[in-house]
Structure 1
Amino acid sequence: MAGVAPPSSSSASGSASGSSNGQAGSMGEAGLSASRYYFSLEDPKENWEVGDKVGAGSFASVYKVRHKGTKEICAAKIIRLNNKMPNEFAMVKDEVDILRDAAHPNMITLYATYKRTNKVWIIMEYCGGGSIQSLYQKLRRPMTEDEIKFILREMLAGLAHMHAHGIIHRDIKGGNVLLTHKGEVKLADFGVSAQLSHSQQRKSTIVGTPYWMAPEVVYEGATYDAKADIWSLGITALEMAEMEPPNSKMDPKMAMYMTPSMPAPTFRKPAAWSSAFRDFVRLTLQKNPARRPSAAALLAHPFLADASIAPLRAAITLVRARAKDSKRARAAAAKAAAKAGKAPAQPHAIRRHAPPHPQHVPRRHRVAAKASPNAAGQANHQAAVLAQANRPIQPMRHRMPAMPAMVASPARPAPMPGLASPRRAAQSPRLGAHMRFLRASNENPPLR
């Protein structure tokens, strides 16, 4: 498998080798050995040097780490367990089991796991290219068809493998698809994934991120299967093409509830994309899950026939070059400021002047803002929208009721003829005189 090689140190590999080292019988913590994958009780910092934070979510943070023995660079997902959620550790074990049992070149590679007090460390392959979401944000443009088709082909290969093993990802989106420096595509974040048994081929809990959730996941009393991932893949295709998922201007929960009743999403500017791409997205976004092709069937779609890694690799190289140039520029500015005896500008001071969200812009300024778009401002807006959109929904014991149909507000009683507004009254001399009399009576009440 491409990517970072597994650490060869015995201390690291032993933590992920199962109970063969004899420690499993003396764990001292109930439930640690229940997983098919072994959680070491050693201090992970004895084997790993923790570097910069490279990602953060609602329930975990991801750090760049280096193994002290092999010097290999990996990623550590550190999850702080919540005592108020007794099933949280069981969900972590499920994620680890999926990474171990369903290994595939298009899935993130698992290397080691640790359990220390209320923290769980999952050591995984490091993907230096970041997520798809971060890539198009750094490019400050939508992704091209050539970039999108390769990503979709690799995602489908990973999903086809997962679905063949009875696993539903349930949270496919741009933020959960990672890229290596070489352009390899990896499905990640299996925290809400589900393993289907032979006797249970469908799930019924509401899980996922609202804008990417399939209609059948939201329906009350309905069940769903792996076809829910196909819908999320189609939404991710639109996300890459337009830098945000459909309906992202709506409140996330409102968008989730309205998904079953709204028409299937499509491109804002269909003419800008090839007919093959439009047909691919149309197939993935069928409201009826039975009409959606499987991941294996979509791999044969003509849109993916000439997919190549070269365009995506070029985009990643461009982003890395920009990052290096920006780093050198900041270092030069800091050096010049130190030489002049001035404090260098802080990044937060620059972000403070970022354009506000369009909803907070006064109405009289919105037309001017649309008339003179700014690439950096649009990128900042997309980042703010997706930060709100990417908050996943955890499994719920009871399903939410479906959103009731919108009911029109009752009609207002008809106003008296001619008295609807002062402007209409002024057009009639008789009515205008009557209104002036009423106004004068209110201002100067009669003496008694």
Structure 2
Amino acid sequence: MRQAGFPRRPPPRGAKAAPEGPPQPKGPLERVYQEIAILKKLDHPNVVKLVEVLDDPGEDHLYMGKIGLILAVMEELPTDKPLNEDQARFYFQDLVRGIEFLHYQRIIHRDIKPSNLLVGEDGHIKIADFGVSNQFEGADALLTSTVGTPAFLAPETLSETRKNFSGKALDVWAMGVTLYCFVFGVCPFMDERIISLHQKIKTQPVELPEHSDLSDDLKDLLLKMLDKNPETRISVPQIKVHPWVTRRGAEPLPLEDDNCCMLIEVTEEEVENSVKHIPSLATVILVRTMLRKRSFGNPFDWGRQRTEDRGTGLSAPGHVLT
């Protein structure tokens, strides 16, 4: 489970009724397959698309095949090249749409940050890395554990007295830290020592650099997202209609019904078939390459042989497929 990097979830949705008697706990691998089955059905323009997962019994890894991605929005922080407001708004709108979809599917990401926001071939953000995410039942997740990247942790997750906290609210906090990074190139709270960093997140007020020329609308949104009180922190539905996000109504985001499909459920058959077992990943690569080149010859020798035969007019070795 540690290597697969999939979310921790409660019992599967849409599964067949369990037989009478005490429930039998699922093993770690069964839980991973359950996670994979749901992730493979998540289909949204702003969430990384998991196409296939391969399991090579001879190795200690699962190989995840995903739709083409380019780079993270920001690979390193701090950076001296932050985004301008228009760039930040473009990417943040994608982030809002993706988070609304995940929350609708009852998934809390728990590790939103610029390096987990990958740019797809279409130029839009794809939310990635569900390694510490949680699925919940009901209206919101009540979480008790602290996971994620230290500089992006919400203050309520660091409280010594609070026993549980809202999953949606902590995602909003991390979105606020991410937006802050977009426009300033640094996190709002930074310290080399983890204990000192936690103390700053819990007690220090959020400060916007005095030299910044940000619009008042953006400053307002940042302060509302980075509200240390999760009960009064702005919510995703409120963020969607905020003047800065919509450019004061000129760029409204889609309604929830248009942005989110029906709640995803998986069957036992889909769970069982969620991972494709292969004898050897190298063999699969070899066969796929041979099929693509329409030849039974060794594809790794094909290029060399073709160069040698170019002067003789001979074709590449192997039998052509029909």
TM-score clears 0.5: yes
Residue 140 of structure 1 deviates from its aligned partner by 5.1
Check whether the contact 1:91–1:192 (CA below 8 A) recurs between aligned residues. no
Inter-partner Cα distance in structure 2 for 1:97 and 1:215? 33
Q: 1:331 — aligned with what?
A: none
Q: 1:236 — aligned with what?
A: 178
Determine if the alignment matches structure 1 residue 198 to structure 2 residue 125: no
Determine if the alignment matches structure 1 residue 269 to structure 2 residue 206: no
Check whether the contact 1:95–1:192 (CA below 8 A) recurs between aligned residues. no
Check whether the contact 1:234–1:281 (CA below 8 A) recurs between aligned residues. yes
Inter-partner Cα distance in structure 1 for 2:229 and 2:38? 28
* Residues 199 and 180 of structure 1, relative CA distance in 2, 3 Å threshold: closer
Residue 254 of structure 1 deviates from its aligned partner by 3.0
Q: 1:108 — aligned with what?
A: 48
The within-5 A match list for 1:195-234 is 195-198=135-138, 201-220=141-160, 221-225=162-166, 226-234=168-176
- Percent of pairs with identical residues: 26
Q: 1:185 — aligned with what?
A: 125
Secondary structure in 1 matching 2:132? coil
- Give the residue type in structure 1 aligned to 2:188: P
Check whether the contact 1:276–1:303 (CA below 8 A) recurs between aligned residues. yes
Check whether the contact 1:238–1:266 (CA below 8 A) recurs between aligned residues. no
* Residues 91 and 274 of structure 1, relative CA distance in 2, 3 Å threshold: farther
Secondary structure in 2 matching 1:277? helix
Residue 146 of structure 1 deviates from its aligned partner by 0.4
> What is the total number of aligned residue pairs between the two structures?
223
Structure 1 unpaired stretches of 5+: 1-33, 37-86, 309-448
Structure 2 unpaired stretches of 5+: 1-10, 14-26, 252-322
The within-5 A match list for 1:242-281 is 242-263=184-205, 265-269=206-210, 271-281=212-222
Residue 125 of structure 1 deviates from its aligned partner by 1.2
The within-5 A match list for 1:62-77 is none
Check whether the contact 1:177–1:187 (CA below 8 A) recurs between aligned residues. yes
Q: Deviations over 1:121-146 (max 9, x none)?
A: 11111212x00112898x95111000
Q: 2:74 — aligned with what?
A: 133
- Scaled by the length of structure 2, the TM-score of the pair is 0.62
Residue 269 of structure 1 deviates from its aligned partner by 2.8
Runs of 4 or more above 3 Å deviation: 87-95, 198-201
2:225 counterpart (284, 305, 309): 284
Q: Deviations over 1:263-313 (max 9, x none)?
A: 2x23223642110110110110111111122212201111022488xxxxx
Q: Deviations over 1:32-53 (max 9, x none)?
A: xx989xxxxxxxxxxxxxxxxx
Secondary structure in 2 matching 1:158? helix
Determine if the alignment matches structure 1 residue 293 to structure 2 residue 234: yes
* Residues 248 and 101 of structure 1, relative CA distance in 2, 3 Å threshold: same
Q: Deviations over 1:309-364 (max 9, x none)?
A: xxxxxxxxxxxxxxxxxxxxxxxxxxxxxxxxxxxxxxxxxxxxxxxxxxxxxxxx
More contact order relative to length (CA 8 Å, sep ≥ 6): 2
RMSD: 2.9
Q: Which has the larger radius of gyration?
A: 1
Check whether the contact 1:98–1:190 (CA below 8 A) recurs between aligned residues. no
Q: Deviations over 1:165-209 (max 9, x none)?
A: 221100000000011243211111011110002397311111110
Check whether the contact 1:202–1:224 (CA below 8 A) recurs between aligned residues. yes
* Residues 211 and 182 of structure 1, relative CA distance in 2, 3 Å threshold: same
Which of the pair is proportionally richer in helix?
1
Q: 1:383 — aligned with what?
A: none
Secondary structure in 1 matching 2:51? strand
Determine if the alignment matches structure 1 residue 146 to structure 2 residue 104: no
* Residues 182 and 260 of structure 1, relative CA distance in 2, 3 Å threshold: same
* Residues 97 and 262 of structure 1, relative CA distance in 2, 3 Å threshold: farther
Secondary structure in 2 matching 1:260? helix
Check whether the contact 2:40–2:51 (CA below 8 A) recurs between aligned residues. no
- Give the residue type in structure 2 aligned to 1:254: S
- Scaled by the length of structure 1, the TM-score of the pair is 0.45
Inter-partner Cα distance in structure 2 for 1:111 and 1:232? 27
Check whether the contact 2:42–2:49 (CA below 8 A) recurs between aligned residues. no
The within-5 A match list for 1:49-448 is 92-93=32-33, 95-117=35-57, 118-128=60-70, 130-134=71-75, 141-198=81-138, 201-220=141-160, 221-225=162-166, 226-263=168-205, 265-269=206-210, 271-306=212-247
Check whether the contact 2:108–2:141 (CA below 8 A) recurs between aligned residues. no
